[in-house]
Amino acid sequence: MKASDVSTWRTCTCTYATITPEQRGVAVRVYVTCPGARAACPGNESSSSNGIEQGSKMADTASPTLANLDGELSKIDTRPASVQVKHYDITAMNVEHVTVYLDRAEVRRSVLVNVKKGENEVLFKKLSQNIDKDSIRVECKGPASITEVTYHSKFIPADEAEENKKIRELKDKLNDLEKTKKALLAKKHRLEKQRSVLDGFADNMIKPTSPGENKESNSDNRLSLNMDTSLLDCMSGFFDLYDKQAQKLDESLQDLDQEIDTNEDAAAVTRKNIQELEISKDSLMIRSPLKTRNRPIEKPREVLVVLDTKEEARVELIVSYVVSKARWAPKYDMRVFTKDSAMKPPRPGSSHARRVTTNRWLNKSVALQIQYFGVIRQNTGENWQDATISLSTSLPSVGGTAPSLGTQVLSFKNRSDGVGIPQSITDSPLKMKKAARRGLGSFRRKDKPQIYSPDRSSLIIDDEGTIDMVEDSELFTTGGDSTEQGKDGLLSTTYDIPRKANIPSDNQPHKVQIAMIDFNPTFEHETAPKRSPHAFLRATVKNDSEYALLAGPVNVYLDNNFIAKSDLRTVAPSEEFTCSLGADPAVKVIYKPLHKYREQSGVISKTTQMTYRQVIEIKNLRPDPIKITVSDQLPLSTEEKIKVNLQEPSIKHPEKNDKNKPIRLNAHNNVEWTLNIEGGKTHEVTLKYSIEHPPGEEVEIKNEKIVLA
């Protein structure tokens, strides 16, 4: 409330009244010091019939105090006296549900509130600094209606905030000192009581003799012992005990007195420091005008909820809001089992995670299981304790406005300076087109993504007049984590986590299990022994589950032994995918030494011919048959005078690039053999070719790097 909001003054003794639009027409009394002498006080004048007087005379009389009214109003609770405000720390409220999105989270908290008949106000304090104020929603369950929800945040100067922080710390210290003193005094009281009991026991053992009790004894009425001589030994033992206990209690009491004195001195110093800081704070407020203070800092936000009810009741308030600095990403454990004992058929209720068997369980010797995890990180400033978690791939819209479409950009595909297309992409338009058509999920990337505006798209016209339209989010996300790319290619999906979780605000990864999915895959091996003498296991799987597998890192296990790390591209339901499972030690590949020899042919025009023969041996040490693809290089001539003749194996031209043929040439001019090898058997393949060239010429063989488009 500001001084500029003052519109009327009530004619009562030393009283100003203000009416502001935020107060819904309720007149609020604000008591301040009388601005002048009693005779000049507007309260001494007669009031109008309705209790409110609006006149220049009243305004003139009150005007000397308007300059100070801001400070006075800020100290006064302007709510009607009949309305009591209930305060709740929102971070201490029960977490009903948390939905974690790719870049934020929606939190639902609840609290039970006892309301009285009429108007009630509930203030939720300590809202996160990362809250989106437009996302706040309040729901009431019970016989009460919500009439108003108001969000506001408080700002205080940085220097004043520092003073307040120091004062709070000192007050906390003073509170601890007072608690310590209370404990010391209680301990002192116990020790004094023990000392009193010990002294009382000793006094009862020794009594003074009255004058007439023992006339034959000494006549000077000296003290006598009121006990039998047989108890002298007992007395001696008691005196020893008394001496030790009394000394121990006296020393303890002395130490306690010193601790209490030290505590009181520290408390006195702390009180003095608090008083000095409060004086310094008040003087700072007087000296420094608001505009010259340091840049303000924001305190935790607050939400005021006004309820109206016709009867006393107990209602439940549910507050939901969206906070930033929260995200999640997928991660997988892929387990391949080659033994019947390694993985058992799923049992109902055997795990907290949802377990899915895509097909009827088959009694096979191999199986594949994917454990689907979500890795959550959040630094929202609030902890999610015992919360039900959902993970979503959508981006929530907290506003009420439909998104704009933006502009479609039309350009020639072969231009190096395409509009809106980075140079690194337009350098290879064919690869870009292939990438856009195939979908970004087929890429595997490790570097960070370069994300551009998702509201733009581009039309690409190739040389034949074909027009391709792809979204800029696909064109421009050319490098980066495939996890981000995969999520963009799927419809919004939400995963409910079966088990409640605790996610603190520490910006550390916290893993929750989404599901455990059992697959019946097809396994194949592949090897390129010229580069690596290993046979790599590859699984081909159809995703028959209801889960979309988002792109992310994979830990691969073989019979519960970790073997490799890999990456999984985005896989939609009913889509088939392949994944590399690392080298299989049970399949041995031997790349024997290359045998080559030189020949010359021709009478008039002689040529030099070099023949190469390469033998590759594959041993299947498994008891079960395997299917393996073996690849080796056949040189490709780029010169007319250099000829390459494939002698073994025999491949006809139509069989080139035909993946259904057991022996074929691929797009990189490599010979591929697809073999079925029984368990415990060995198989050999031979690559034989000759190179012809004019004599005296030296042939150079280079290995070109394969660029995956």
pLDDT at res. 637: 86
pLDDT value, residue 34: 38
Reply yes or no on whether the pLDDT at 690 is more than 70: yes
Can you tell me the mean pLDDT for 556-568? Answer: 86
114 pLDDT more than 90: yes
Q: What's the average model confidence in pLDDT over 85-89?
A: 92
SS3 call for 265: helix
- Confidence class of residue 602 from pLDDT cuts 50, 70 and 90? low
pLDDT for 164 beyond 90: no
Single out the residue in 532, 548, 583 at which a domain terminates. Answer: 583
649 in the same domain as 578: no
Average pLDDT, the chain: 72
Helices (H) and strands (E) in the chain, counts: 8, 34
The rounded distance, in Å, linking the Cα atoms of 432 and 459 is 12
Note whether 554 and 676 are same-domain residues: no
Provide the percentage of residues in the chain whose pLDDT is more than 70. Answer: 61
Strand 595-601 versus strand 607-620 pairing type: antiparallel
Q: Does the pLDDT of residue 219 top 70, yes or no?
A: no
Structural tokens at position 274: 């608090």
Domain match, 446 and 541 both: no
Q: What is the pLDDT of residue 600?
A: 60
Instruction: Classify strands 367-378 and 510-519 as parallel, antiparallel or unpaired.
Output: antiparallel
Give pLDDT, residue 609: 85
- pLDDT value for 20: 36
Residues 124 and 99 both lie in one domain: yes
Say yes or no to pLDDT of 16 above 80. Answer: no
Q: What is the largest CA-CA distance in the chain?
A: 165
Identify the band that residue 298 occupies on the pLDDT scale cut at 50, 70 and 90. Answer: low
With cut-offs at 50, 70 and 90, classify the pLDDT of residue 155: low
Assess whether 315 and 338 both reside in one domain. no
> In the predicted model, is pLDDT for residue 581 greater than 90?
no
pLDDT(579) > 80: yes
SS (H, E, C) 32-77: CCCCCCHHHCHHHCCCCCCCCECCHHHHHHHHHHHHHHHHHHHCCC
Residue 12 is predicted with a pLDDT of: 36
- Which of the listed residues 35, 54, 74 is the one where a domain comes to its end? 74
Q: Is the pLDDT of residue 88 over 80?
A: yes
Residue 415 lies in a domain: yes
Residues 318-347, mean pLDDT to the nearest whole number? 80
pLDDT confidence of 82, banded at 50, 70, 90? low
Residue 578's contacts (CB-CB under 8 Å, 6 or more residues apart) are 538, 539, 540, 541
* Rounded average pLDDT over 242-262: 88
User: Residue 266 is inside which H or E element, if any?
Assistant: helix 232-287
Q: Which residue has the higher pLDDT, 476 or 145?
A: 145
DSSP bridge partners of 200: none
Whether pLDDT at 69 is above 50: no
Query: How would residue 159 be classed by pLDDT, with cut points 50, 70 and 90?
Result: low
Residue identified by tokens 């209370």 is 182
284 in a structural domain: yes
pLDDT, position 356: 62
- What's the 3-state SS for 489-511? CCCCCEEECCCCEEECCCCCCEE
The rounded distance, in Å, linking the Cα atoms of 313 and 115 is 6
Closest CA to 348 of 359, 338, 337, 356: 356
Which residues does residue 564 pair with via DSSP β-bridges, in sequence order? 556
**Any bridge partners for residue 677, and if so which?**
626
Residue 38: pLDDT band (50, 70, 90) is very low
- Output the CA angle 424-426-430, nearest 5 degrees: 120
- For residue 246, the model assigns a pLDDT of 86
pLDDT at residue 417 in the model = 43
Q: Which residue range(s) make up the domain with 50?
A: 3-74
How much is the pLDDT for 430? 34
Identify which has the larger pLDDT, 205 or 447: 205
Count up the domains in the chain and report the number: 6
Average pLDDT over residues 310-331: 94
Most confident of 32-41, 405-414, 603-612: 603-612
**Phi, psi values for residue 311, rounded to 5°:** -155, 165
Residue 12 lies in a domain: yes
The answer to the question of residue 398 being in a domain is: no
pLDDT bucket at 576, cuts 50 / 70 / 90: very high
Predicted pLDDT of residue 221? 43
Shared domain for 383 and 512, answered yes or no, is: yes
575 in the same domain as 502: yes
In this structure, of 61-65, 123-127, 235-239, 409-413, the range with the lowest mean pLDDT score is: 61-65
Instruction: List the single range of 108-117, 401-410, 417-426, 587-596 with lowest mean pLDDT.
Output: 417-426
Q: Considering the chain, what percentage of its residues have pLDDT values greater than 90?
A: 33
- Mean per-residue pLDDT, 225-229: 53
pTM of this prediction? 0.55
**Residues 387 and 526 grouped into a single domain:** yes
Which amino acid appears at position 171 of this protein? K
Q: Is the pLDDT of residue 57 over 90?
A: no
Q: What is the pLDDT of residue 422?
A: 38
Kindly state whether residue 285 falls inside one of the protein's structural domains: yes
Closest CA to 377 of 275, 508, 568: 508
| Per-residue model confidence as pLDDT tens digits over 483-502 | 333 354 556 789 999 999 99
Question: If pLDDT is split at 50, 70 and 90, which confidence band does 322 have?
Answer: very high
Quick check: is 229 in a domain?
A: no
Question: Which residues contact residue 654 at a Cβ distance below 8 angstroms, ignoring those fewer than 6 apart?
Answer: none
Q: How confident is the model at residue 398 (pLDDT cuts 50, 70, 90)?
A: low
> Which among 609, 589, 606 has a CA at the least distance from the CA of 598?
609
d(CA 22, CA 29): 15
pLDDT for 563: 83
Considering only residues 68 and 653, tell me which one the structure prediction assigns the higher pLDDT: 653
Distance CA 627, CA 141 (A): 63
Between residues 401 and 182, the one the model is more confident about: 182
Q: Do both 262 and 173 map to the same domain?
A: yes
Q: Domain boundary residue among 52, 74, 96?
A: 74
Distance CA 219, CA 222 (A): 8
Residue 422 to residue 482: CA distance in whole angstroms: 20
The pLDDT, as a whole number, for residue 111 is 95
Query: Span 590-607, mean pLDDT?
Result: 76
Examine residue 698 and state whether it is found in any structural domain, yes or no: no
Residue 528 has pLDDT above 90, yes or no: yes
Instruction: For residues 610-637, give the mean pLDDT.
Output: 92
> Residue 300: what pLDDT?
67
Q: Is residue 598 domain-resident?
A: yes
Question: Do residues 526 and 672 share a domain?
Answer: no
Name the packing angle between helices 232-287 and 158-205 (round to 10°).
160
Mean pLDDT over 362-366 rounds to: 47
Q: Residue 452: is its pLDDT beyond 90?
A: no
Token pair 């963009």 is found at 488
User: Taking residues 663-687, what's their average pLDDT?
Assistant: 92
With a CB cutoff of 8 Å and minimum separation 6, the contacts of 407 are 456
CA–CA separation, 124 vs 553, rounded Å?
41
Nearest to 365 by CA among 557, 682, 622, 583: 622
254 and 165 inside one domain: yes
Q: Are residues 198 and 276 in the same domain?
A: yes
